[in-house]
Amino acid sequence: MKKRILKNIEWSILICVILLIMIGIVALYSATQETTKEELQKQIIWLIISIPIVVLVICINYEVIVKISPIFYGIFLILLVAVLFTEPVNGATSWFEIGVFSFQPSEFAKIFVVLVFSLVITKIQARGKNEINRPTRLFLALLVIAVPILLIAKQPDYGTALAFLVATTFILFVAGIKKRYIISSILIVIISVPLLYFFILPEHAKTRIDVFLNPNLDPRGSGYNVIQSKLAIGSGQLFGMGLLKGNQTQLGFLYPKTTDFIFSVIGEEMGFVVAAGIVFIYVLLITKAIYIAKTAKDDLGSYIAMGIAGIFLFHMVENIGMTIGLLPITGVPLPFVSYGGSSLLTNLILIALLLNISGRRQKAIFIE
């Protein structure tokens, strides 16, 4: 059994992740030259901690993990409520401080929300393939997603909340949701956007949108980061200015360079070639995740794999998009590359789930 699992595992996904982590470590080494390298050290510690957890997640059948996931889903809902009462960091109540480390429950919630939502969809579909299109069933399933999204938006962390929405869309698409729901959702979004902007979004969120549309509105304030980011990426040209030689990176103009704008560091010091290589690696990783969804042995595995693909796609597009000025800044990290222990461990567990599902595929499936 173990040999069959190892043979079926989509090892190319693990290779993609290793490459991204290596690039991220090099970029963090350069970005922390003027500091105590504390973030680089913490990232390496989190990586070491993650390895046995990844191995464990791969070894346990994902069906078993899904069965116990509602317990953890409940625990993280409680944590998402509790974190709202912590001291704000950069205007958001998203972290628990534990000694020198910080813990972000919304990151880990991604894992169990995807698992529980996939489980609920599977249970609904077991009653009949078209059951998900019954409004009452669909509403109950969406509650699984709606509660954590509302709690995360309250922090506020709109980037992570959007990641949940993208994962939900991917899962529902595979589950066979009818076009009328998709069209209705698009219409609701179109109507809601101006209402959200004028009546619901806090002032700092409005400012980010305004600056996204025209960074020169406040070049020394809200528009400063994106302007410096574009300057950094542009100055890198084809092969980069060289490690430890980036002007924006090393002279402190780029901030926060270890998290939100790590791609800008890479673009400036390693150039277009490496930056484009990162995009290619992500596209390969996401494509393989979708392939795993297609070849999974059951609907449950397909839904989980597609949800994970949706999360990685959103993070990649949003982070890179905001660093080059194509999307608003939301504080979404670049998976495996940006600094962040909670993010790194969460993403590695999601990868472990993909490897888990791929390893338990049936050989006959590959004939199709």
Q: Is residue 88 part of a domain?
A: yes
Per-residue model confidence (pLDDT) at position 362: 67
Which tops the pLDDT comparison, 23 or 3? 23
Q: Is residue 35 part of a domain?
A: yes
Tell me which of 220 and 352 has the higher pLDDT.
352
Question: Residue 164 falls within a domain, yes or no?
Answer: yes
Q: What is the pLDDT of residues 109-136, one digit of tens each?
A: 999 999 999 999 999 988 877 788 888 8
When comparing pLDDT for 101 and 172, which is higher?
A: 172
- Average the pLDDT over 61-87 and give the result: 93
Judge whether 179 lies within some domain. yes
pLDDT-derived band at 367 (thresholds 50, 70, 90) equals very low
Q: What is the pLDDT of residue 34?
A: 75
Question: Of the ranges 110-114, 143-147, 184-188, 329-333, which one carries the lowest mean pLDDT score?
Answer: 184-188
Nearest to 31 by CA among 245, 306, 347: 245
- Computed over every residue of the chain, the mean pLDDT equals 89
Confidence at residue 365, expressed as pLDDT on a 0 to 100 scale: 39
Rounded to an integer, the average pLDDT of 277-288 is 97
pLDDT the model gives residue 88 = 82
Mean pLDDT value of segment 71-78: 95
pLDDT, mean of residues 207-221: 77
Confidence of residue 73 (pLDDT cuts 50, 70, 90): very high
**Encoded tokens for 95:** 């972290």
- pLDDT for res 166: 93
- In the chain, the number of structural domains is 1
Does 329 have pLDDT greater than 80?
yes
pLDDT confidence of residue 164: 94
Banded model confidence at residue 215, pLDDT cuts 50, 70, 90: confident
Q: Residue 45: pLDDT above 60?
A: yes
Of residues 2 and 51, more confidence is placed in 51
- Least confident range from 129-138, 256-265, 314-323, 345-354: namely 129-138
pLDDT of 12 > 90? The answer is: yes
Inform me whether the pLDDT recorded for 54 exceeds 80: yes
Mean pLDDT of 312-330: 92
The parent domain of residue 275 ranges over 14-361
Tens digit of each residue's pLDDT (9 = 90 or more) over 93-109: 888 887 667 788 999 99
| pLDDT above 60 (res 162) | yes
- Reply yes or no on whether the pLDDT at 364 is more than 50: no
| pTM for this entry | 0.92
Please check the confidence at residue 206 and state whether its pLDDT lies above 70. yes
Model confidence band, residue 7 (pLDDT cutoffs 50, 70, 90):
confident
Mean pLDDT, rounded, for 293-318: 95
Per-residue pLDDT of 237-270, as tens digits, reads 999 999 999 899 888 888 889 999 999 999 999 9
Percent of the chain scored above 90 by pLDDT? 59
Residue 3, domain member (yes or no): no
pLDDT at residue 238 in the model: 92
